A and B are shown apart, each in its own frame.
Chain A
């Protein structure tokens, strides 16, 4: 007979979880494993709310198992390290992103691409090697293998840095891999949300010209004046889009709502690259002629490996980049989720776990 979440591990833990696909989150008692030789345990101070958390608690991808405790932009302070852990010590500021395990022997793992390992274990809604479920960061305590721990730099505010652990690496990884990271290049960013606003900041730090492409004219002033984008295209405005034909070296598309690819492909120069980091549920139409005529490509990317996640965090710290956040107490969680459905946040909610997550 399998043990309950409260009993399966030796250490008491507390968090907020969804019990069914209504997605409503509520207090949840569970347990964490003891700190293994290669583990790091930390007290959670903050956890970012990623749109994926919303998709998952509502079982929109059909893969959710309940109770589901989300959160994969987790930061805090180390309270215990295993005997073989050398890189971290008690008191260090650390974080965990979307992954907590992988096989460590396949080609991808060997190349520091744990995110593409076919046996990767996600921070929540996944099965650990010991057969138990993984529970994420809307909780007071995290334990993870040191390979999946990220050092949060001293000069980086923890609450603003937390969202980078998913949103940050999700845009940083493809910008590097697809070579959309050199000074002077022109990068388009589709969608100005959690991912998009970080892409704008990274792009500017890399010395690129940034054009935001959005359906909402209301976001224009913010994009240009506060985030530092160089230009703003309203995607429904045919004239604006036409005028920008063939001007971009690449586009990072963060939008998961269904939308046409052709207008974006037209914006690319020859040899241009359209990188999807948001995944529409249904297949999109791919116009092939423009791909051929301009040697263009459409590609995907999914978070990043641990080595590049650390690299991204250090890069962000060096350029004083953090996410723009709205800090919320735990009991605002369900309201925040409702607002997230309407994209009513600039641009990431972050749960103040340290101060507000207390057992009933």
Chain B
């Protein structure tokens, strides 16, 4: 007979979880494993609210197991380290992103690409090697293998740095992999949300010209004046889009709502690259002629490996980059989720776990 979440591990833990696909989150008592030789345990101070959390609590991808405790932008302070842990010590500021385990022996793992390991274990809604469910960062403590712990730099505020652990790496990894990171290049960013706004900041830090492509003209001022984008295209405005034909070296497409690819293919130069980091449910139409005529490509990317996650965090700290956030108490989470459905946030909610996650 399998044990209940409260009993399966020795360390008491507390968080908020969804119980069913209504997605409503509520207090949840569970337990964490004891700190293993290579584990790092930390007190959670903040956790970002990623749109994936929303997809999952509502079982929109059909793979959710309940109770589902989300959160994969988790930041806090180390309270205990295992005997074989050398990189971290008690008191260190650390974070955990989307993955907490991998096989460590496949080609991807050997190339520091744990995110593409076929046996990768996600921070929540996944099965650990010990057969137990993983629970995420909307909780008071986290225990993870040191390989999946990221050092949060001293000069980086933990609350605004937390979202980089998913949103940040999700755009940083493809910008590097697809070579869209050189000074003077022109990058398009589709969608100005959690991912998009970080892509703009990284793009500017790389010395690129950044054009935001969005359906909402009312985001223009913000994009240009506050985020530093160089230009703003309203995607439904044919004239604007036409004028920008063949001007971009690449485009990061962060939008998961259904939208057309053809106009984006027109925006990139020859040899241009469109990188999808949002996944629309319905496959978009791909006109093949323009791909051939311009030797263009459409690629995908999913978060990033641990080595590059640390690299990204250090890069962000060096350039003073954090996410733009709205800090919320734990009990605001259901309202926050409702607002997130309408993309009503600039640009990430972050749960103030330490100050508001309290047992009933």
Contact = CB atoms under 8 A, between A and B. Distances in A.
Do A and B truly interact? yes
Interface stretch (B65-73, B138-146, B271-279): B271-279
A283 B283 contact: no
Given A116-B294, A270-B116, A292-B276, A283 B286 contact: yes
A299 B285 contact: no
Central interface residue in B116, B177, B295, by most chain A CB within 10 Å: B295
Interface in B276-290: 276-277, 279-280, 283-290
Contacts of B276: 288, 291-292
Nearest to A271: B116
Contact of B285 (A276, A285, A289, A292): A285
Contact of A283 (B262, B271, B292, B293): B262
A300 B283 contact: no
B97 to A, nearest CB: 16
Taking residues whose C-beta sits less than 8 angstroms from the other chain, chain B's interface range is 20 to 34
B301 interface: yes
Interface string A43-70: 0000000000000000000000000000
Contacts of A285: 283-286
Central interface residue in B108, B262, B285, B300, by most chain A CB within 10 Å: B300
Interface of B is mostly: mixed
Contact of A300 (B108, B294, B299, B302): B294
A346 interface: no
B284 A297 contact: no
Interface string B278-322: 011001111111111111111111100000000000000000000
A285 B116 CA distance: 24
Interface of A is mostly: mixed
A226 B284 CA distance: 40
A11 interface: no
A292 B277 contact: yes
Contacts of B280: 288
B270 interface: yes
B113 to A, nearest CB: 8
Contacts of A17: none
B312 to A, nearest CB: 16
A261 interface: yes
Given A270-B108, A276-B292, A295 B116 contact: yes
Contacts of A113: 270
Contacts of A298: 286, 291, 297-299
A287 B283 contact: yes
Central interface residue in A108, A116, A300, A302, by most chain B CB within 10 Å: A300
B257 interface: no
Contacts of B293: 300, 302
B261 interface: yes
A217 interface: no
A290 B280 CA distance: 11
B287 A297 contact: no
Nearest to B300: A291
Given A291-B300, A295-B300, A297-B300, A283 B295 contact: no
10 contacts: A285-B283, A286-B285, A290-B300, A295-B301, A297-B299, A299-B295, A299-B297, A299-B299, A300-B292, A302-B293
In the A-B complex, list the 7 residue pairs whose CB atoms are closest, starting with the nearest. A291-B300, A300-B291, A297-B299, A299-B297, A300-B292, A292-B300, A286-B286
Interface of A: 108, 113, 116, 177, 261-262, 270-271, 276-277, 279-280, 283-302
Given A286-B284, A295-B177, A296-B299, 15 more contacts: A116-B270, A116-B294, A270-B116, A271-B116, A279-B289, A283-B287, A286-B286, A286-B298, A291-B276, A294-B116, A299-B299, A300-B293, A300-B296, A301-B292, A302-B293
